[in-house]
A and B are shown apart, each in its own frame.
Chain A
Amino acid sequence: MIRTFDVTKVYQVGEMTVPALNGVTLNIGRGDFVSIMGPSGSGKSTFMNILGCLDLVTAGRYLLDGVDVSHFSKDELAEIRNRRMGFVFQGFNLLSRSSAQENVELPMLYSGTPAGERRERAREALVKLGLEGREHHLPNQLSGGQQQRVAIARAMVNEAPLLFADEPTGNLDTKTSMEIMDLVVRLNEESQITIVLVTHELDIAAFSRRVIRFVDGVVVSDVKQGA
């Protein structure tokens, strides 16, 4: 599903060039559950941004479902993000002035789904994640775990086959973290959703079936493990 060939990313900071990725070649299959680990500055977030079509490679190629998206335009990438992937962030990244329901509707707003269907599907997604009765709460009226579940509902509502999670449990306590991870595992096992998880916590990475470690912009280990 995801193939990268010798992906390089260099940031230009003023006069200096800062390398973030130095030739990453990887293969992530459909239905896989991958953790990306590494110290800060190792390039793991940069790599996820590239996989998530939020950023472009400096050199190398990135094939998504066999299509090279390395040089897609901004709008083409937006379309891919909208239809084929979902994001869950450490800081939840919900619209603070919109209700849970409206947050979940957001991707459908940009995919042109009719209002009635939008409402219906958003409600269904929220119910599925155990948020029934909280549809009209604002994010600040919800607990951290609930907010992250709203974010997951938002990521999945367009039935995207890919989920990117950037430290999804970073702001949650252990118990809630486990609940969220159970949810993620369920998405992977029951809905065959491919999951790419960035984390620096070993017990979170333990939920995945494959752990890729980054150091200084290169892959230093790629280990499959029993879930």
Chain B
Amino acid sequence: MVVSIWSTTKIAFRALWVNKMRSALTMLGIIIGVGSVIAMLAVGQGASEKISEQVASMGSNLLIVMSGSVTSGGLRMGSGTQMTLTLEDAYAIERECSAVVAVAPMLNGVAQVVYGNQNWATAVQGTTPGILEVRDAALVSGRPLTDQDIRAAAKVVLLGQTVVDNLFGSLDPVGQIIRIKKVPFTVIGVLEKKGQSVVGQDQDDLAYIPVTTAQKKIIGTTFAGMVRTILIKARSAEEMDRAERQVNDLLKQRHRISPKGEIDFSIRNLTQMLQVAEQSTRVMTLLLGAIASVSLLVGGIGIMNIMLVSVTERTREIGIRMAVGAKTWAIRMQFLVEALTLSLSGGVIGIILGVVTSEILSRLAGWTTIVSPLSVILAFGFSGMVGIFFGFYPAYKASLLNPIEALRCE
């Protein structure tokens, strides 16, 4: 004997409709719970998506060799404070490491660039033609740096979009002459836009010049031929570790570092670092979701409270139903469906609220938010579970009533 779910649901809806205000307030707990779970997961998901995007924009399979600490007169300097890498190191890596596909030595500094009456402080980076491949960068106009430019220490420059916007506005910069630290440079190309880096740095606010020109004219070095860092692109993600080992061995040999000697360079695996960042975002997402689900739990307790009140108020109704033949199961079902109706209706409204909230967050606060179908299903399922879990006890209590006493109740 099965009392149809449809009839039961209809009864539940009517019972809830009678106490509209009370039902709405009870649902509010679930609405807020589900809404915040959806919104929080959307924010977290958006953040990790953004990081993945930025990982890709930094250049894939990237290793960074930095000038390491040196001991100078008993003082140990932090990494990068002294330049220990040379242009020759970079060329040697390119020549000898089989797991490496491209290399770009970097000698960078901040300098004022001037065009006409406009000026802009930007990161001027001395490098080699390999930079485009290492950074996964492309040109929107003009030509790239060439080996000829490097050999000749040519006064040519590739500009990032931000620099172009600030100096030229809508003018075409290719072929124009700009001044970097009063030295005239010819703009030979414009880089494609890359957006912000993981740490929020504008990756388009830069100018690439030949490394040799930088050494001679723009950024002073203690010894000729020094560079600050060497960027290396491995052949593939799987070859990252092999590339790192090869570079390490080669540089140790080139810098004549004995097994016990102090290593004067360090290699950073950027992809790995970013993966860690992504991991931590994921943890943050989970944490946000967990905090939000606490409010879902509180909403569930609200449902249980109201259902208990409802059972007490409707004791007589339960008695009548029992007298005409409602079995334990049917009474239990009725109140369970009522709790479920509350929690699932709240769930649906909460999902809508959550989607709207994340949309507002992305519009107003400019955060990337992604509402994944999985989080919607999860939130809906969870609200259903809350309904069953917290509805069961009141339903159980109702089914235990004695019909005679229930009928006698006013």
Q: Which residues of A are interface residues toward B (Cβ below 8 A)?
A: 49, 52, 54-55, 74-75, 78-79, 81-83, 87, 89, 93-95, 97-98, 106-107, 109-112, 115, 154, 158
Contact = CB atoms under 8 A, between A and B. Distances in A.
Contacts of B324: 81-82, 87, 106-107, 110, 154
B268 interface: no
A93 B320 CA distance: 6
Given A109-B3, A110-B1, A110-B321, A78 B327 contact: yes
Nearest to A84: B325
B328 A75 contact: yes
A81 B325 contact: yes
Contacts of B325: 78-79, 81-83, 107, 110-111, 158
Contacts of B222: none
Interface in B307-342: 316-317, 319-330
A110 B4 contact: no
B83 to A, nearest CB: 85
A54 B325 CA distance: 10
A89 B316 CA distance: 13
Given A107-B324, A110-B324, 5 more contacts: A54-B323, A78-B322, A79-B1, A93-B316, A109-B7
Interface string B11-34: 000110010000000000000000
Nearest to A106: B324
A117 to B, nearest CB: 12
The contact size tier of chain B is 20 to 34
B327 A112 contact: no
Nearest to A164: B323
B407 interface: yes
Nearest to B14: A97
Contacts of B316: 93
Contacts, number: 68
Contact of B330 (A83, A98, A110): A110
B137 to A, nearest CB: 69
23 contacts: A49-B404, A54-B404, A54-B407, A74-B328, A75-B327, A78-B327, A81-B322, A82-B326, A83-B325, A87-B323, A93-B319, A93-B323, A95-B317, A95-B320, A106-B321, A107-B324, A109-B3, A110-B1, A110-B321, A110-B326, A111-B325, A112-B1, A115-B7
A81 B407 CA distance: 15
A75 B407 CA distance: 17
B403 interface: yes
B18 to A, nearest CB: 6
A78 B326 contact: yes
Ranked 6 nearest A-B pairs via Cβ:
A82-B325, A107-B324, A112-B1, A110-B325, A75-B327, A78-B327
B364 interface: no
A158 B325 CA distance: 11
B2 interface: yes
Contacts of B329: 75
Contacts of A55: 404
Nearest to B316: A93
Contacts of A107: 324-325
Contacts of B322: 78, 81
Contacts of A98: 14
Given A55-B404, A112-B1, A97 B18 contact: yes
